[in-house]
Amino acid sequence: MGCCRISTADQNPDHQIDALLRAGVDRDHIHVDTASGAKASRPKLDLVVQLLRQGDTLKVTRLDRLSRSVLHLVILGTDLRERGIGLHVIEQGIDTSTMEGRAMFGTLSVLAELQRELIVANTHDGLASARARGRVGGRRPKLTEDQAALAQQLYDAREKTVQQIADLFGVSRSTVYGHLDKTKSVPRQPKKTLVTKP
């Protein structure tokens, strides 16, 4: 299967299509994306990757037609290698059916593993640094514990509406609702209707 990419609708993919046809790709198996290579959204490429099976080969004219992001190239290359799918980059002479091409895939695999390890290490370092300064991971709550407790009391005592509590603390109603423990709230009593006998 072959994949092309053009950055705008005004660009013409004919050069890439012709190169893929000369490389033996059936016209029905050529898919064209119109998107910047840096964008994560590549619907045609995603479709091709899903359709490829072990023993198949993905063909592109150049690596920058596959992606402009090195990280994306590394991840995609590793995924193809692990699934037994080949990659043929026509104009740059990369073909994983050759020893040189397989070496390139091995390099991609090493880079991917290094990238994963760096991400994990940086995350651990950031969390450890935050803990040392008395902070914990996750988003900081918009209400402090004391404010949340006061909001609960006002809500349970029916002294203020949720909107009034939100205005009091300068937050949204959804934030107040998120902090309320309705299981501990005083149940709302139904209104009594007085019936007078004639």
For the chain, 198 residues long, give each residue's pLDDT as a single digit of tens. 877 777 766 578 888 999 999 999 999 898 888 765 454 567 888 888 888 999 999 999 987 787 766 667 777 877 888 898 988 988 877 888 888 877 876 676 576 667 667 777 777 777 777 777 766 555 555 777 778 888 888 888 777 788 888 888 788 888 888 888 754 444 444 444 444 444
Cα dihedral sign, 178-179-182-185: negative
If asked whether residues 47 and 106 sit together in one domain, one would say: yes
Q: Which sequence positions are flagged as catalytic?
A: 7
If asked whether residues 7 and 104 sit together in one domain, one would say: yes
Question: Is 40 inside any structural domain?
Answer: yes
CATH classification of the domain holding 49: 3.40.50.1390
- Domain residue limits at 155: 145-179
If asked whether residues 8 and 85 sit together in one domain, one would say: yes
If asked whether residues 154 and 76 sit together in one domain, one would say: no
Question: Is 23 inside any structural domain?
Answer: yes
Alpha-carbon separation of residue 63 from 23, 27, 144, 195 (angstroms): 16, 20, 51, 82
| DSSP conformation letters of 25-90 | --GGGEEEEES-TT-S--HHHHHHHHH--TT-EEEES-HHHH-S-HHHHHHHHHHHHHTT-EEEET
Task: Determine the pLDDT at residue 196.
Answer: 46
Q: What share of the chain is helix, strand, coil (3-state, %, to 5)?
A: 50, 10, 40
Neighbours of 20 (CB within 10 A): 25
Task: Determine the pLDDT at residue 48.
Answer: 87
CB 43 within 8 A of CB 51: no
If asked whether residues 153 and 88 sit together in one domain, one would say: no
Rg from Cα positions in the chain: 29
Question: Is 75 inside any structural domain?
Answer: yes
Question: Is 73 inside any structural domain?
Answer: yes
If asked whether residues 172 and 82 sit together in one domain, one would say: no
Question: Is 120 inside any structural domain?
Answer: no
The pTM of this model reads 0.50
Alpha-carbon separation of residue 108 from 22, 115, 132 (angstroms): 27, 10, 36
Count how many domains the chain has.
2
Question: Is 190 inside any structural domain?
Answer: no
Question: Is 149 inside any structural domain?
Answer: yes
Task: Determine the pLDDT at residue 186.
Answer: 44
If asked whether residues 150 and 110 sit together in one domain, one would say: no
